[in-house]
Amino acid sequence: MAETLQLDDNRFFDSDPAIRNVARDLYEEVRNLAIISPHGHTEPAWFNENHPFPDPTELLIIPDHYVFRMLYSQGITLEALGIPTADGSTVETDRRRSWQIFGDNFHLFAGTPTGAWLSHQFALVFGVKEKLSGVSAMRIYDEITEKLQSPEFRPRALFDRFNIEVLTTTDPAESTLEHHQSIRNSSWNGNVVPCFRPDGVTDLNHPQWHANLHALSEVSGIETSTYADFIDALENRRAFFKSNGAVSTDHGVFSPHTEELSRQEAEKVFQQALQGGVTREDAARFTAHMLMEMARMSTEDGLVMQIHPGSFRDHNEAVFNRFGADKGCDIPVQTEYTRNLRPLLGKYGSDSRFRLIIFTLDEATYSRELAPLAGHYPALKLGPPWWFNDSIAGMTRFRERVTETAGIYNTVGFNDDTRAFPSIPARHDLARRVDSNFLARLVSRHIIDMSDALIMVRALAYDLVKQAYNV
């Protein structure tokens, strides 16, 4: 017999009642605030077409690398979970069989943020009463499948039910944004906006760089045979994204290195790339230069600039070759910010027109580099913990290491960075609980009083993200 699924009202709060009671009071002030989700990877087609999600496996396992990377680490193949291959070769197509594997191994997620998010989704989004296990897997699969066919569980209905005020997707520079345009022209009032992600054309070593550059030329109507034309095409697309509601750009770079090349140097490297002869060193310098260019453009068009550095992407080459990117094998690397960001911050860090949000996978940099930088440069704000650190302990460490130097007002609240749509309310609820608990600790030690804490908890849940992204 399966166990009952129960979510304690005091989950994630300290066991010390003096802290827990304050945390609970703070959380009650923000638990029902609207969600602003300024950075994620949900599909705009979901909200444009508003088709039912097909089944629980397609909804909760296949798009979510947080889920299948854990299963893969225990020797379960991605093929068995139905993860599509890059070449379209055969994988498991029986969604029930993949879900049974998930249920048989759900215990692997105990104590992880993924386990907390999934339990929230099962209990509060889908109303499941049993814990997921090998015994209950098929009952839960059938229960969720039946609900997904009802109007209440269509993408737009869930968007409204989750109380999402703004949802940002992530879209390549060469995207036509056809789904975003259709949403904006529809009678639905959900606010789904794009984010400009130019990595596919600014990284000269990207395996699809030539194809992406050609697509950029096609959609912009600008022949990108010179560096100057390339810059014109990027500015064209940024304006197009902004006209479709975009408020931000995003740059997933290996290193936060910034460096300004002369026009002549940039042209030379660009031409070498066109001819297929660019070196890795020159490609890295070009990426560093493009961060400077993107900062310049942000001062002119007002788009908030996000940088996500420090990920060794597709570390497992065999998985990448068979399944493509974003399959759970991106691994953090040690990252340096003080020297690498100096050229960009020296030129734009005090410009009132510019907003830069930095994320990190290297927690050691919080107190050593990032908090002091954000505690000085007006343009720089710190993004919340990213990937492996977007956890109960990771969020707490972030607040502990950053707040004394930079305060909370040089941070930008929370974003969920999700690919699995139903996890959005779960992730925001966890963050609100963790921040409430952190502030309750400060109250209990008389570092702040309750009136301060009430203002701060709302800022962390809602006000800061709204300010930072101009939404």
Q: What is the pLDDT of residues 296-306, one digit of tens each?
A: 999 999 999 99
- The answer to whether 249 and 357 are in contact (CB under 8 A) is no
Task: Quote the CA–CA distance of 447 and 469 in Å, as a whole number.
Answer: 29
Quick one: DSSP state of residue 4?
B
Task: Quote the CA–CA distance of 28 and 30 in Å, as a whole number.
Answer: 6
pLDDT of 1 reads 63
pLDDT of 387 reads 85
For residue 172, give the H/E element and its range.
strand 171-172
- The answer to whether 247 and 193 are in contact (CB under 8 A) is yes
Q: CB-based contacts of 339: which residues, under 8 Å, 6+ apart?
A: none
Q: CB-based contacts of 81: which residues, under 8 Å, 6+ apart?
A: 57, 61, 62, 68, 71, 92, 98, 101, 102
Task: Quote the CA–CA distance of 314 and 164 in Å, as a whole number.
Answer: 32
Measured in degrees and rounded to the nearest 5, phi and psi for residue 168 equal -105, 130
pLDDT of 176 reads 98
pTM, whole model, 2 decimals? 0.96
| Strands 331-332, 311-312: pairing kind | antiparallel
Please list the ranges in the chain whose pLDDT falls under 50: none
pLDDT tens-digit series, residues 384-440: 998 889 999 999 999 999 999 999 999 999 999 888 999 999 999 999 999 999 999
- Strands annotated E in 215-297: 248-251
What are the tokens at 33?
Answer: 């605030």
Task: Quote the CA–CA distance of 11 and 27 in Å, as a whole number.
Answer: 11
The DSSP bridge partners found for residue 250 are 306
pLDDT of 393 reads 95
- The answer to whether 456 and 93 are in contact (CB under 8 A) is no
Question: What are the chain's domains?
Answer: 17-50+154-468 (3.20.20.140), 52-153 (1.10.2020.10)
Helical axes 227-243 vs 280-301, angle rounded to 10°: 40
pLDDT of 40 reads 87
Task: Quote the CA–CA distance of 145 and 54 in Å, as a whole number.
Answer: 8
What are the tokens at 151?
Answer: 């109007």
